[in-house]
Structure 1
Amino acid sequence: MSEFTVRGSFKSRGGQQSFETTIEAPNEDVARERTFATFGSKHNVKRTQMEVTEVEAR
């Protein structure tokens, strides 16, 4: 598995909140999906409220 750095933003109570996280995944699509799942569960944010701007292999 490879490591990917995922950057983007999501809507929070105070406005847009930027994020950067490192995800271990076999490819970029899986890294993006795991990011949606992780932030959705931790921050109670729906996928439509999130925007992933960059997925970069490390």
Structure 2
Amino acid sequence: MSEFTVRGRYQARDGWEEFETSIEAVNENVAEEHTYTNFGGRHGLNRSQVEVEEVEAQ
């Protein structure tokens, strides 16, 4: 498994907030899916409320 840095933004109460997180995954697509899952579980956001702009291998 590799480590990926995922950057993007999510919809918060006061507007859009940027984020950057590190995810361990098999490939870029899986890292992006884990990001959607994490924001949905932790913050109760739908996929449409999270915009992934970049997935970069470290």
Q: What TM-score, normalized by structure 1, do the two folds share?
A: 0.97
Q: Output the aligned Cα RMSD.
A: 0.5
2:52 aligned partner: 52
The CA deviation at 1:49 is: 0.9
Q: Find the counterpart in structure 1 of residue 17 from structure 2.
A: 17
Q: Deviations over 1:11-55 (max 9, x none)?
A: 110100110000000000000000000011111110011100000
Counterpart of 1:18, as a letter, is: E
Which stretches in structure 2 are left out of the alignment for 5+ residues?
none
The normalised TM-score by structure 2 is 0.97
Instruction: Work out the percentage of aligned pairs sharing the same amino acid.
Output: 57
Aligned residues: 58
Q: Distance in 1 between matches of 2:50 and 2:38?
A: 12
Structure 1 segments, 4+ long, off by >2 Å, are none
For structure 1, list consecutive stretches of 5 or more residues without a partner in the other structure.
none
Structure 1 CA distance for aligned equivalents of residues 43 and 20 of structure 2: 14
